[in-house]
Structure 1
Amino acid sequence: MTNNKNSNNNLKRSLGLTSLIAICVGIVVGQGPLITILQGVGINATGFFLATLIAFVLALGYVFTFSELTLMMPKAGGISTYTEVAIGHLPAIIVTIAGYLGIAVFAGAADLFLLDYVMDTLYPDTFSRFGLWIYISIIILNILGIEVFATVQNLLAFIMLAALFIIGIAGVSSSQVQDIPFDNLFLELGSLDWNILSLTVLAVWAFVGMEFVCPLVEETKQPEKNLPKAMIISCFILLLVYGLVALAGYHKVPGKELVESSIPHWVLVKSIFGENARFLMAVLAITAASTCFSTGIASISRMLYGMAKNNQLPAVFKRLHPKFKTPWFGILFPCSLAIGVYLIFQDSQNVIILLMISCSTIFLLIYITAHIDIIILRKRYPQFHRPYRTPFYPVLQILGIIGMIYLIINNSPSPEMTKTVYLNTGLVIVITGLYAVPWIKYKMKKPYFRGEPIEKVQ
């Protein structure tokens, strides 16, 4: 009887290396990063390519850190599990709920608006609430099981990458008279200064989010081998595909047009293939949004599942569908919030964008927290078995902490918005704390800042 009960409350191991790569790439290659990449090229192409390399190094740092932490504690809770052991329950709950759940709700709503806007631009007055119907379809597919999710994610990621490679290669290889020569990129190297660091704020969004695969560790085949490999391979895939798109943007479109457009990826596609390329752009927009939706839903629902198993959330979050073995409530709860925000603020999209930037500040705090976690755990548990050990420790962790602090300080386009972003960030943290403080004290009956023994989590 006990074995059946445990079996009914366990996730299914179904994800191989290909699926993990599709998840890592799928969560990162959304329309938002494509916009920031092309606008960064428009601002200062040479500086932006160097900033992209800096962002790539920062990304490798957090990939190494999350790989070690995840395989030390291979549980679905993700950052909440690692921080619970390293620092304590209060920071674990706040960083997970305020960071991941907040960004899922507000970024989810923002992505819905963006997909609606792109489809309305391509096919005016043809589709109504197109993004919402795509989102609902992805929710259903996630509930139907990890195998269904993996199959759909693999297909979407393949189509999306194929579309991006077609755009990138066609743009880079173009030889039309009006194309901007690549020689200019090298001519501007001598005029670069420390201001290129400000472009890292845009470049870093091309690489953040690969750790979303970590909460799926309980559903991963051979996680010790496949999880680090998937994230590292994905880093290089992202560098290649974004590099091609950025070079194509530089070669085909004047910088001013990229900066001034709200959807510069459509400007790029038109410049390469003409107005008749609407279908290609629609495929890119739909697959980019869908892969982000799908991976975000799958990963965050597992974080909430893991937190519930650690008693950090109500028990309803750890309920699995009796047939499909998916955390159905953990899927429906954040998705319902995102849809609610989308419907309430449908005429005030700028509010959602502002809230998304505010939550992204907390999102960057997640990486700082992860680097701090690994430093603390290396000292507290020096002999603990680590299936994966981060290379170059602690150099990349220290660089990661410094880099993320810099990005937080420069995470908005104007001083006026910076004040609002910090205010909203503080408000989100306070609201999360209003839940976490009494829950830890009266429900969990645990100290706020005392790490749990790692053996207990294991």
Structure 2
Amino acid sequence: MEKKLGLPSAIAVTVGLIVASSCLLSLGTGIGLAGRGFIISMLIVLVLNICLALSFSELHDLMPDAEGGMGQYTKVGLGSVPSIISNVSAYVVVNLLAASVEVAMCGMVVNELFLPQIPAPAISILFLAALLLINYHGVDIFSKIQNIVVGLLLLSILAMGIISSLKLGTGQIIDAASQTPPAVTGLSGYVSLSSMAFWLFIGIEFVIPVSKSLKNPKRDVLLAMILGISILFVLQSILGNGMTNYVTLTELASSSMPHMVFARNLLGTPGALWMGLITILAGVSTANTVLGGIPNVLAGMAENDLLPKCFAKKNKHNVALTGMFFIGIGDTILVITGVTNSSTLSSLLLAASCFWLTSYILVNLTVLVLRRRYPDHPARRKSLVLGGIPQIIAIIGDVYMIVHIAEGAQRIFIYQLYFVILAVTLIYAVIWTRFVRKQPMFVPADLSDIEGAASSYTNNQQPAAV
């Protein structure tokens, strides 16, 4: 019999799948712009994601065994076209951009610390090629050390946060008189930076696929999401506070890898090597997870007639090659063309945030729609409904973050990337659904037709009109 996991394991899964080396980039840049005020931005996102956790918990109660992620939820609530958009936005585009940032950071760190004579993009391409070759043969070399890598990253965040906050480092301490003033101040400024803080808590729903292995999934899925992001908030707040004791805000905001600058200022060369090794391990591990996992998401979409069948074909090693090479080629193009150069890493993460925010908006809308369609569903916990207030707050917050994603030239770059890819995804979804599959575009699937829907809702309980 399979051993069931308790709440601590569920929290570990949530935290482990959220944290990545790119989080350190966003944290350092945010602290550089607003100083300790960025912690307020993080707190705002924490509250919004707790509201989102309530939505995911409710959807999980309705479809406890569903494994289709956001796409399956939105197909029940909003129809096929929104389902394609939510899946592609959250799982394909986001991970394509995030993986390119991770391999780019690996290349920069190796170039800075070990191989200054080899250009960083070339090192990044070598990393990516090696990961493609490994995943082609169906070998996940990181599966056994994934928890170790995540544990090292979290312990490093905590250790460096405590050392720097208590001013125990070997580097020069920056007192208040020597610290440069923040570029962003006031509550309105901190709210505007919430979109940057959003990346620090992204992907809370990744605990849902392991819910079958939990002892008490109805309780622990929700608690794991809330406690997981709360723990991350505390750890990252400690580290962000400590950064201001050893690096000027101006230097943090202008650096392409502020966490590396901080580690060097904190502990000298040993600190840089420590943070560099963690960045490489976490970056390669994250990119490897994307190359190994996202092709399976694409294969699942193909099997459900949301993508061409070629994405469902697998080689003798049970690897979905079309999806893997799609991600690999996309990341290669982003690196070779210079999109992932040092000045655009933060912008790519913000663009990725826009796509995930889009999916979260659709998820919250799905919850509101399903309440109207299935008002008396016994699986719903009435105590968590709260009149739709959490969903409305989350939607307003998500829209605000997209609108205020950045300023100036950076905002134009992000919007160009976001709206072009979103338009292409929408056009594909409409053509594929309406003209290729000849199915209705916005007619939601019935809850009873979805595999994994709560069995207590019988066929004689018809959905209400919306």
Both proteins in one fold, TM over 0.5: yes
C-alpha distance in structure 2 between counterparts of 1:296 and 1:212, whole Å: 13
C-alpha distance in structure 1 between counterparts of 2:350 and 2:101, whole Å: 11
C-alpha distance in structure 2 between counterparts of 1:438 and 1:169, whole Å: 54
Q: Label 1:313 to 1:31 Cα distance change in 2 as closer, same or farther (>3 A).
A: same
C-alpha distance in structure 2 between counterparts of 1:424 and 1:453, whole Å: 34
Partner of 2:457: none
User: Unmatched 5+ residue regions in structure 1?
Assistant: 1-12
Give the alignment partner of residue 418 of structure 1, picking from 411, 417, 440. Answer: 411
Asked whether 1:65 is paired with 2:55, we answer yes
The aligned length equals 438
How far off is 1:430 after superposition?
2.4
Partner of 1:174: 167
SS in 1 for 2:306: coil
Partner of 1:39: 29
How far off is 1:294 after superposition?
4.2
Amino acid at match of 2:28: L
C-alpha distance in structure 2 between counterparts of 1:430 and 1:69, whole Å: 27
Task: Show the 5 A alignment for 1:440-455.
Answer: 440-455=433-448
Partner of 1:341: 333
C-alpha distance in structure 2 between counterparts of 1:417 and 1:43, whole Å: 14
How far off is 1:452 after superposition?
0.6
Give the alignment partner of residue 18 of structure 2, picking from 19, 28, 31. Answer: 28
Partner of 2:150: 157
392-401 vs 74-83, which moves further: 392-401
Partner of 1:386: 379
Q: Label 1:327 to 1:380 Cα distance change in 2 as closer, same or farther (>3 A).
A: farther
C-alpha distance in structure 2 between counterparts of 1:182 and 1:455, whole Å: 61
Give the alignment partner of residue 54 of structure 1, picking from 27, 37, 44. Answer: 44
Amino acid at match of 2:145: V
Q: Is the 8 A contact 2:104 2:335 kept in 1?
A: no
Q: Is the 8 A contact 1:212 1:295 kept in 2?
A: no
Asked whether 1:109 is paired with 2:100, we answer yes
Asked whether 1:269 is paired with 2:259, we answer no
C-alpha distance in structure 1 between counterparts of 2:377 and 2:256, whole Å: 49
332-341 vs 240-249, which moves further: 332-341
How far off is 1:71 after superposition?
4.3
How far off is 1:20 after superposition?
5.2
Partner of 2:196: 202
The C-alpha deviation readout for 1:16-41, integer Å capped at 9, x for no partner, is: 56665455334432333212212222
How far off is 1:237 after superposition?
2.3
Partner of 2:324: 332
Q: Is the 8 A contact 1:58 1:400 kept in 2?
A: yes
C-alpha distance in structure 2 between counterparts of 1:236 and 1:184, whole Å: 32
Q: Is the 8 A contact 2:311 2:322 kept in 1?
A: yes
Structure richer in helix, relative to its length: 1
TM-score (norm: length of structure 2): 0.81
Amino acid at match of 1:386: A
Asked whether 1:120 is paired with 2:104, we answer no
TM-score (norm: length of structure 1): 0.82
355-364 vs 79-88, which moves further: 355-364
SS in 1 for 2:280: helix
SS in 2 for 1:252: coil
Amino acid at match of 1:77: G
C-alpha distance in structure 1 between counterparts of 2:145 and 2:326, whole Å: 21
Q: Label 1:63 to 1:270 Cα distance change in 2 as closer, same or farther (>3 A).
A: same
Q: Label 1:256 to 1:344 Cα distance change in 2 as closer, same or farther (>3 A).
A: closer
C-alpha distance in structure 2 between counterparts of 1:321 and 1:71, whole Å: 36
Asked whether 1:245 is paired with 2:239, we answer yes
Partner of 1:5: none
SS in 2 for 1:251: coil
How far off is 1:203 after superposition?
1.8
The C-alpha deviation readout for 1:283-334, integer Å capped at 9, x for no partner, is: 22123313432444455344324323322123444456777xx663476144
Q: Is the 8 A contact 2:313 2:321 kept in 1?
A: yes
C-alpha distance in structure 2 between counterparts of 1:119 and 1:56, whole Å: 33
Give the alignment partner of residue 432 of structure 1, picking from 425, 434, 456. Answer: 425
Asked whether 1:377 is paired with 2:377, we answer no
C-alpha distance in structure 2 between counterparts of 1:136 and 1:397, whole Å: 42
Amino acid at match of 1:260: S
Q: Label 1:395 to 1:108 Cα distance change in 2 as closer, same or farther (>3 A).
A: same
How far off is 1:101 after superposition?
1.2
Q: Label 1:16 to 1:211 Cα distance change in 2 as closer, same or farther (>3 A).
A: same
Q: Is the 8 A contact 1:66 1:211 kept in 2?
A: yes
C-alpha distance in structure 2 between counterparts of 1:31 and 1:400, whole Å: 26
C-alpha distance in structure 2 between counterparts of 1:409 and 1:271, whole Å: 35
SS in 2 for 1:411: coil
Q: Is the 8 A contact 1:31 1:285 kept in 2?
A: yes
Partner of 2:68: 77
Asked whether 1:92 is paired with 2:83, we answer yes
Amino acid at match of 1:36: S
282-291 vs 369-378, which moves further: 282-291
Amino acid at match of 1:114: M
Amino acid at match of 2:35: A
SS in 1 for 2:73: helix
SS in 1 for 2:330: helix
Partner of 2:355: 362
The C-alpha deviation readout for 1:140-189, integer Å capped at 9, x for no partner, is: 7767889976533212111211222221111112257953569999xx9x
Task: Show the 5 A alignment for 1:214-363.
Answer: 214=208, 216-217=209-210, 220-221=213-214, 223-224=217-218, 226-297=220-291, 299-318=293-312, 328-329=320-321, 332-342=324-334, 344-346=336-338, 349=341, 357-363=350-356
The C-alpha deviation readout for 1:373-431, integer Å capped at 9, x for no partner, is: 111112211233437778363222111111111110111232x4434433432221222
Partner of 1:3: none
Q: Label 1:61 to 1:141 Cα distance change in 2 as closer, same or farther (>3 A).
A: farther
C-alpha distance in structure 1 between counterparts of 2:24 and 2:293, whole Å: 22
How far off is 1:194 after superposition?
2.7
Amino acid at match of 1:153: Q
Q: Label 1:207 to 1:343 Cα distance change in 2 as closer, same or farther (>3 A).
A: closer
C-alpha distance in structure 2 between counterparts of 1:298 and 1:388, whole Å: 35
Amino acid at match of 2:237: G
Partner of 1:8: none
Identity %: 25
